[in-house]
Amino acid sequence: MRTLTRALSTLSALALSAALVTGCTSAGAAGIGIGIGIDAGSTGRSAGSDEPSADGRGRYAEINGLRLYYETHGTGEPLVLIHGGLNTIDSAFAALLPELAETRQVIAVELQAHGHTVDIDRPMRYELMADDVAGLVTHLGLGKTDVLGYSLGGGVALQLASRNPDLVQKLVVVSAPFQSAGWTPAARAGMAAMNADALLGTPVHEAYTKASPKPEGWTALVDKTRQLLTEDYDWTSEVASITAPALLLVAESDSVLREHAVALASVLGSGATAPSGTTPARLEIIPGATHYDIMYRADLLLPLVTPFLDAPAQATASVGAAK
Across the range 286-309, mean pLDDT stands at: 98
Contacts 24+ apart (CB under 8 A), 183-189: 183/13, 183/255, 183/256, 183/257, 184/254, 184/255, 184/256, 184/257, 186/10, 186/13, 186/255, 187/13, 187/255, 187/256, 187/291, 188/13, 188/230, 189/10
Distance CA 127, CA 2 (A): 36
Q: What residue spans of the chain are helical by DSSP H? A: 2-11, 18-22, 26-29, 89-93, 97-100, 126-139, 152-163, 185-192, 203-211, 218-229, 236-240, 258-267, 298-310
Confidence (pLDDT) at 252: 98
Across the range 204-231, mean pLDDT stands at: 97
Judge whether residue 194 has pLDDT over 90: yes
Confidence (pLDDT) at 48: 76
Query: Average pLDDT over the chain, rounded to whole?
Result: 86
pTM over 0.85: yes
Confidence (pLDDT) at 312: 87
Judge whether residue 297 has pLDDT over 70: yes
Please give the span between the terminal C-alpha atoms of the chain, in angstroms, as a whole number: 33
Q: What is the pLDDT of residues 220-278, one digit of tens each?
A: 999 999 999 999 999 999 999 999 999 999 999 999 999 999 999 999 999 876 555 55
How do strand 66-73 and strand 104-110 relate by DSSP bridges? antiparallel
Higher pLDDT, 53 or 32: 53
Percent of the chain exceeding pLDDT 90 equals: 78
Q: What is the pLDDT of residues 90-114, one digit of tens each?
A: 999 999 999 999 999 999 999 999 9
Q: What is the pLDDT of residues 45-71, one digit of tens each?
A: 457 799 999 999 999 999 999 999 999
Distance CA 254, CA 285 (A): 10
Q: What is the pLDDT of residues 148-188, one digit of tens each?
A: 999 999 999 999 999 999 999 999 999 999 999 999 999 99
Distance CA 82, CA 119 (A): 17
CB-CB contact of 1 with 21 (8 Å) = yes
